[in-house]
Every structure is written in structure tokens, then in C-alpha cells.
């Protein structure tokens, strides 16, 4: 599950949408947009789920502290993605996360996060995908790819109405129940 914190509706709609779609495509079970509601993002995720299939939950408006408390209360662990954390490449942080054998909530910030995000009360792991400034969307993609050992890159989504047909050149999409069988772009 992914928890997005610090979303600013007037500024972050596109990037937060990309964080949600990246989470979905790379194997996360769902997405929580904490502390605020943004109907545009909710609608986009809903449409993508309907067209491209799969199970992916979306919640919004719940306070981040409530999400973290409830997650930990159910026995899960929290991994906070931050450039200040343990480097994914040079530490054994992933092995330690896997060794818990618990469900993982990945905390992804938008703006400067509160200091308490780094504390043991909030984050069981502070994880860095490199220790240079970069996009939270890129960090999430790399983290999920490594976390799932690359196995979600060819994931099949159940009940998909649309499916991309990989090919060397051009674009080909298979569509079911949306008024066409195949189309090339």
C-alpha cells in the first residue's frame, strides 16, 4: 500500500496522479491520499482501473497519523522513501524489510515532510533510492521494482478492457467492450 502525504491540489495533481499510477502498475495493492481529497485524481485512478483492469484500492482524506497507526496496529511495517535514508543499493534495507514478512506501507512525501516521519514511531525503515535529489515518482518506481524483484513488469491485470500489445514499432492496443477489437496508433 502507498501513502501519499503533502499533496497540494493546486500544484501536485499531475505528479500525485503519476505516483498513484506507478504504484498500480508496479504491484502495489492500493493508494491512500492522506489528509486531503482530490476528486480529479480519484476519478483518473477509477477510469484506469476500469479500462486497464486489476484490483487497486484508492482512499483519500484520512489523516496520515491514522493510516500509519492503523497499519502498524494490524501488524504492518512502514517504509518511508527519503533521499536521507539507507541507500537501497548499498545497504541491506530491502532484505530487512523482506525478513519482517509483514505487509508494507510505503510513505511517499510531496513536500517537506514532518521530522517525525523519520522516527521509529512512524517509519520502521527510512529508504533512499540514491542520495541525490530526484522525483518521488522515480523513487517509488525503483523501490517497487526492487521490492518485487522485477516480477511486476509483466503483470497481467484481470478484467482488463484494454491491453497494450508490445511490438518493436508503433502502438497497438487490444480493446474489449469499448467499441473496438484492435487499433493501431
pTM for the full model?
A: 0.91
**In angstroms, rounded to a whole number, what is the distance separating the alpha carbons of residues 34 and 68?**
10
Return the pLDDT at 183. Answer: 44
pLDDT bin (cut points 50, 70, 90) of residue 8 is confident
Domains with residue ranges and CATH for the chain: 2-154 (3.40.1280.10), 159-185 (no CATH)
State pLDDT tens for residues 31-65. 999 999 999 999 999 999 999 999 999 999 999 99
DSSP-derived secondary structure letter, 26: T
CA distances from 130 to 58, 88, 133, 159 (A): 28, 7, 8, 36
**In angstroms, rounded to a whole number, what is the distance separating the alpha carbons of residues 116 and 168?**
48
H runs (alpha helix) in the chain: 13-25, 39-52, 64-73, 93-100, 136-147
Amino acid at each position: 500500500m502507498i501513502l501519499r502525504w503533502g499533496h497540494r491540489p493546486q500544484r501536485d495533481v499531475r505528479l500525485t496522479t503519476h505516483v498513484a499510477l506507478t504504484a498500480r502498475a508496479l504491484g502495489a495493492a492500493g493508494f491512500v491520499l492522506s489528509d486531503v481529497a482530490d476528486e480529479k485524481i480519484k476519478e483518473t485512478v477509477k477510469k484506469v482501473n476500469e479500462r486497464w483492469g486489476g484490483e487497486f484500492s484508492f482512499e483519500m482524506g484520512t489523516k496520515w497519523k491514522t493510516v500509519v497507526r492503523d497499519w502498524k496496529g494490524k501488524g504492518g511495517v512502514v517504509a518511508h522513501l527519503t533521499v536521507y535514508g539507507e541507500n537501497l543499493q548499498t545497504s541491506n534495507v530491502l532484505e530487512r524489510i523482506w525478513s519482517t514478512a509483514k505487509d508494507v506501507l510505503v510513505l511517499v512525501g510531496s513536500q517537506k515532510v514532518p521530522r517525525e516521519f523519520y522516527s521509529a514511531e512512524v517509519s520502521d525503515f527510512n529508504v533512499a533510492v540514491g542520495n541525490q535529489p530526484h522525483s518521488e515518482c522515480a523513487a517509488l518506481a525503483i523501490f517497487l521494482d526492487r521490492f518485487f524483484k522485477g516480477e511486476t513488469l509483466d503483470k497481467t491485470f484481470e478484467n482488463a478492457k484494454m491491453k497494450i500489445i508490445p511490438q518493436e514499432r508503433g502502438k497497438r492496443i487490444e480493446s474489449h467492450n469499448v467499441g473496438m477489437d484492435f487499433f493501431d496508433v
